[in-house]
Structure 1
Amino acid sequence: MLDFITPDPVAMHARLRPAALACIDLATGRRWSYGALDADILRAVGVLAGKGISRGERVAVIARNCVDLIVLQQALMRLGAIFVPLNWRLSRPELARLLADCTPKLVYTDFDAAPVLPEGCRLEQVSTFIDEVRAADPAPRPPRHSGFDTCIILYTSGTSGVPKGALLTSQFLLATAVNFNVLGEVDTGCVFLCDSPMFHVIGIVTQIWPPILRGGTFIVSPGFDPEATNERLGHPDWGVTHYFCVPQMAEALRHAGNFDPSRWRRLKALFTGGAPNPPSQIRWWLDRGVKMVDGYGMTETGTTLGMPLSPEMLREKAGAVGVAGPLTSVSIVDENDEEVPDGVPGEVVIFGLNVTPGYWNRPEERDRAFTPEGGLRSGDIGVRDADGYITIVDRRKDMFISGGENVYPVEVEAALIQHDAVREVAVIGIPDERWGEVGCAYIVPAPGQAPQAAELVTHCRSLIAHYKVPKDFRLVPELPRTGSGKVMKHVLRDTVRAEAAPAR
């Protein structure tokens, strides 16, 4: 059987359109055509091979966004080696644990403080890599490797508190790009603004592979800043067409002093994912002429579901995350892995070329995560409507039972966020002697606001059933989040458990 070969869209476009603009690095102002980007990748191939990097070996990165990290990732893929971007916001002990797990031969960083390295691992600065690539000659183009080989290890955000390394193959990267390109109406003239960190699947895959597959342009910023991003989206010389963010980033954009979406003239849509996006927020953006297009994916699956770019459909189906991309299929199943009818909640199970083959050093995790038929158990509860659109109801582990009734925190959060005094909210289930469990809402108030429990209860009761209304409301300055913006609800649960524990 003929093996699937590693895709290399940069090399393809270096032949098809060598002078076309491939990317811009905003921190340095440097620009690459596809011909220049391909040549730099070949220079990096020679640099890495000279350091003894070969097929299957890992190179980790603890560094902020820059185009040179894409050069590194592409060069490692051509060598058959593995790129491991790590969350630079983690503590030194946390980074040391991840490095001990993936055992890289080389670590690149742009920070001064170094974590504890595994035996035989070298630490070098990203600036050294850049200088060495500039000074090198392009290496011969290496033979293509199997598309089923792992080329990236991405550690999950760890909302459960235990990150694990998802294996991404080049088949995964290609399938994610195809799914997003079809769902997101991506063409050769596309311009993607890349703000999300490259240790996240959005940053290293979703923002990069769709434009390079189409021969478009990606613009890499050193990181998200609300005012700077508002300016970038409206920059007349760049003409950004696609921007991907988590809902919390979109909220920050609209509260920035220079928010003016009328300047985003070429933007096709603001794509969101990674966290629940209440229907009221989607309609708010539509009312201001911006198509907010929600979608669904995971570290383990990349782009899976997406909404159409039709304003009418976005308004009608607000709250849904769309339909499956062309290289994916999705089932909604019960606890016996049997398909449920439309309108009935069940676990989302994902099949397709965009699904991870497993986890680094954790074969037992793969056994737990996959069905016997090979579908990935997402852990998310979804419901499909009669038109085939899927809505994510909640994480299965976040659902709680109050008085015998299932309560999905996402639904409660969607009600609370509509209150003018609520900026952000996270709801968890906590033990209750009478009802078994009740809701506890952690609320970040809007500036200058301090909503009272009674008014929040009244507000919720006008929108959702009484048994779903939280019994406890807590005002907090911020919610604990992962590096990708997801709320770490296990931290909130730990806080409640610690409060309930008897004093020693």
Structure 2
Amino acid sequence: MPPVATALTIAQLFANAAQAYGDRPAIEDAGHSISYRQLDQLRRQAARALLALDVQAGDRVAVWAPNVWEWIVAAGALQSVGAALVPLNTRMKGSEAGYILRESGACVLFAIGEFLGADYPGMLVAEDLPDLRHIISLRGANTGTLPWERFMDLAADVPQLALRTREQGVGPQALSDLLFTSGTTGKPKGVMTSHGQNLRIVRDWSDIVGLREGDRYLIVNPFFHSFGYKAGWLAALMRGCTILPQQVFDVQAVLDCVQRQRISVLPGPPTLYQSLLAHPQRGDFDLRSLRVAVTGAAAIPVEMIHRMRDELGFGTIVTAYGLTEVCGFATICRSGDSAEKVANTSGRAMPGVEVRCVGSNGRSQPANIPGEVQIRGYNLMQGYFNDPQASEATLDADGWLHTGDIGVLDEEGYLRITDRLKDMFITGGFNVYPAEIEQCLLTYPGVAQAAVIGIPDERMGEVAMAYLLPAPGIEIEPARFLSWCREQMANYKVPRRVQVLQSMPINAAGKVTKNVLREWALQPAG
């Protein structure tokens, strides 16, 4: 086992990786190459700069940016001084980001200056953020922000010894991150996990998928998501891979990058591989360097797995299942599993993790009988931040996490997710929670009731569809309504279709019957 794998904190991981991999390239980003040794120096410099800003152990520090090298330096630095990382989704609008910054009590925010035409710090101007003391602009100068270079210069005022002392006080049980996940209540909840449990599960994951020193890892999954962060750059640093961050998914750009940069590892949602296979110019690119694919989050046709092997050249293709509440990892296929196993299941439990499917009687179901998926193990969250009630509802007294997903386990312990207890659906790899969208839609003038479901979409898997009940005497213009939605919420949450109803279908308890709405959605328009 390389010394890197023995790290108990993320600061130790960076330091051990610098010793083990030295001048090997850790990150290559837009012509900028950073060796493992340089990456550790940058991490320590940024950590001392955070000490200069009086960031304390236990504080929360947020990062709101696309996949860039500074993201990794900022995350490693804040975790080195004992703060918890709060990643923000780059698709969020100001009010969505503001909510998470307030809930987490973040004292510092690292933000991209501008991305895809949006001024990120500018989006927060109208937000009341009493705990936020500093916004550091990772790229570009924005009014009222501290530019990255000036932030890094602050380290000069803090001795190395101060950082060493702080690092020694950060142990494996310390909070490493607070990832906000939307819930069925419509309010995002902060999932608390620690350094030690994350490093242990990332170690096992990278071992199972077969990451190797010198692998060239194109990270298309966003760093703000546990896949892009934990199975992404954290796993890559542990194994001595070279990280190539991709800011926006663009099929042509990915094909070009694979050929030019000799990419060997390319995880992503099924839509990524479907897009590559469907690209008309795919045959013009040399993709022989590809070796490892990891996917999940949606049903996959067996034929697609065969085509990924035959046409894209992947030697290892595995599917996996996980939740933010279990550090992102619960089950995974193993190398050598058949195409049918990979396509039809999410693999079996990670080492040291138990998975069961439980019936309404509270007992484990026999093989191939559906039940609620429950998980137990060292990878379970510490709870939801400042929400003991929600934590208690999700984690039972016997240490099982209730996922709200319905699944079946076969005789070999391979899991297949069959349904979602909580109405959640997945758009292009992002979890979408109808209750959260519904709360937003109710603020639109004239909407008396709103119900959101997921409808099939060839490219994205599923997308949101909204059913609206207007207040008496009010007319809702669908095009204007959808335009408003695009201004209010992240693009992946925006309904792609809207239907105005005269009455909502409800059950005896007065709740909207979404299965009726799903049936309506499948009927031809007219």
Q: TM tier, shorter chain?
A: 0.7 to 0.9
Given the alignment of the two structures, is residue 19 of structure 1 paired with residue 23 of structure 2, yes or no? yes
Of the candidates 120, 123, 147, which is equivalent to residue 114 of structure 1? 123
Is the 1:108–1:126 contact (alpha carbons within 8 Å) kept by the matching residues of 2?
yes
Is the 1:175–1:327 contact (alpha carbons within 8 Å) kept by the matching residues of 2?
no
Of the candidates 136, 149, 163, which is equivalent to residue 131 of structure 1? 149
Q: Quick one: distance in 1 between partners of 2:319 and 2:504?
A: 40
Q: Quick one: distance in 1 between partners of 2:491 and 2:227?
A: 9
User: Following TM superposition, by how much is the alpha carbon of 1:335 offset from its aligned partner in structure 2, in angstroms?
Assistant: 2.5
The 1:441–1:50 alpha-carbon spacing in structure 2 relative to 1, beyond 3 Å, is closer
Q: Quick one: distance in 2 between partners of 1:106 and 1:58?
A: 7
Is the 1:60–1:104 contact (alpha carbons within 8 Å) kept by the matching residues of 2?
yes
Is the 2:367–2:409 contact (alpha carbons within 8 Å) kept by the matching residues of 1?
yes
Matched AA of 1:268: R
User: Following TM superposition, by how much is the alpha carbon of 1:226 offset from its aligned partner in structure 2, in angstroms?
Assistant: 1.5
Given the alignment of the two structures, is residue 223 of structure 1 paired with residue 223 of structure 2, yes or no? no
Which runs of no fewer than 5 residues in structure 2 stay unpaired? 1-6, 114-118, 140-145, 435-452, 460-481, 506-526
SS of 2:330's partner is strand
Match of 2:279 in 1: 256
Given the alignment of the two structures, is residue 303 of structure 1 paired with residue 329 of structure 2, yes or no? yes
User: Following TM superposition, by how much is the alpha carbon of 1:61 offset from its aligned partner in structure 2, in angstroms?
Assistant: 2.0
Given the alignment of the two structures, is residue 65 of structure 1 paired with residue 67 of structure 2, yes or no? yes
Question: Kindly, what percent of the aligned residue pairs are identical?
Answer: 26
Is the 1:379–1:396 contact (alpha carbons within 8 Å) kept by the matching residues of 2?
yes
SS of 2:193's partner is strand
Match of 1:274 in 2: 297
The 1:257–1:331 alpha-carbon spacing in structure 2 relative to 1, beyond 3 Å, is same
Match of 2:42 in 1: 40
Q: Quick one: distance in 2 between partners of 1:483 and 1:241?
A: 31
Match of 2:403 in 1: 378
Matched AA of 2:405: D
Is the 2:353–2:375 contact (alpha carbons within 8 Å) kept by the matching residues of 1?
yes
Match of 1:265 in 2: 288
User: Following TM superposition, by how much is the alpha carbon of 1:239 offset from its aligned partner in structure 2, in angstroms?
Assistant: 2.9
Given the alignment of the two structures, is residue 320 of structure 1 paired with residue 361 of structure 2, yes or no? no
The 1:441–1:54 alpha-carbon spacing in structure 2 relative to 1, beyond 3 Å, is closer
List per-residue Cα deviations over 1:205-249 (Å, max 9, x = no partner).
Answer: 1101212112222211222222111222233xx332222211222
List per-residue Cα deviations over 1:31-64 (Å, max 9, x = no partner).
Answer: 1111111111110011110011110111112222
User: Following TM superposition, by how much is the alpha carbon of 1:139 offset from its aligned partner in structure 2, in angstroms?
Assistant: 3.3
Matched AA of 1:22: A
Match of 1:416 in 2: none
Q: Quick one: distance in 1 between partners of 2:173 and 2:491?
A: 26
Q: Quick one: distance in 2 between partners of 1:144 and 1:267?
A: 41
Q: Quick one: distance in 2 between partners of 1:129 and 1:275?
A: 40
The 1:164–1:201 alpha-carbon spacing in structure 2 relative to 1, beyond 3 Å, is same
> What is the TM-score when the length of structure 1 is the normalising length?
0.76
Given the alignment of the two structures, is residue 329 of structure 1 paired with residue 340 of structure 2, yes or no? no
User: Following TM superposition, by how much is the alpha carbon of 1:90 offset from its aligned partner in structure 2, in angstroms?
Assistant: 1.6
Match of 1:6 in 2: 9
Q: Quick one: distance in 2 between partners of 1:484 and 1:200?
A: 16
Higher helix fraction: Structure 1 or Structure 2? 2
- Aligned pairs (5 A) from 1:55-454: 55-111=57-113, 112=119, 113-115=122-124, 116-121=127-132, 122-127=134-139, 128=146, 130-132=148-150, 135=153, 136-137=155-156, 139-140=160-161, 141=164, 142-157=167-182, 161-235=186-260, 238-260=261-283, 263-288=286-311, 289-290=313-314, 291-301=316-326, 302-310=328-336, 313-398=338-423, 442-444=455-457
User: Following TM superposition, by how much is the alpha carbon of 1:170 offset from its aligned partner in structure 2, in angstroms?
Assistant: 0.9
Is the 1:269–1:309 contact (alpha carbons within 8 Å) kept by the matching residues of 2?
no
Match of 1:464 in 2: none
Count of residues in correspondence between the two structures: 423
SS of 1:383's partner is strand
List per-residue Cα deviations over 1:448-483 (Å, max 9, x = no partner).
Answer: xxxxxxxxxxxxxxxxxxxxxxxxxxxxx9xx9x97
Is the 1:274–1:298 contact (alpha carbons within 8 Å) kept by the matching residues of 2?
no
List per-residue Cα deviations over 1:61-84 (Å, max 9, x = no partner).
Answer: 222221111111111111101111
User: Following TM superposition, by how much is the alpha carbon of 1:348 offset from its aligned partner in structure 2, in angstroms?
Assistant: 1.4
Q: Quick one: distance in 2 between partners of 1:495 and 1:363?
A: 36
Match of 1:500 in 2: 503
Q: Quick one: distance in 2 between partners of 1:499 and 1:68?
A: 51
List per-residue Cα deviations over 1:73-98 (Å, max 9, x = no partner).
Answer: 11111110111111121222222222
The 1:309–1:18 alpha-carbon spacing in structure 2 relative to 1, beyond 3 Å, is same
Is the 1:171–1:354 contact (alpha carbons within 8 Å) kept by the matching residues of 2?
no
List per-residue Cα deviations over 1:318-368 (Å, max 9, x = no partner).
Answer: 311111122322122223431111111111111222221111111111101
Which runs of no fewer than 5 residues in structure 1 stay unpaired? 400-408, 414-425, 429-439, 447-476
Q: Quick one: distance in 2 between partners of 1:496 and 1:281?
A: 34
Is the 2:302–2:339 contact (alpha carbons within 8 Å) kept by the matching residues of 1?
no
> What is the TM-score when the length of structure 2 is the normalising length?
0.73
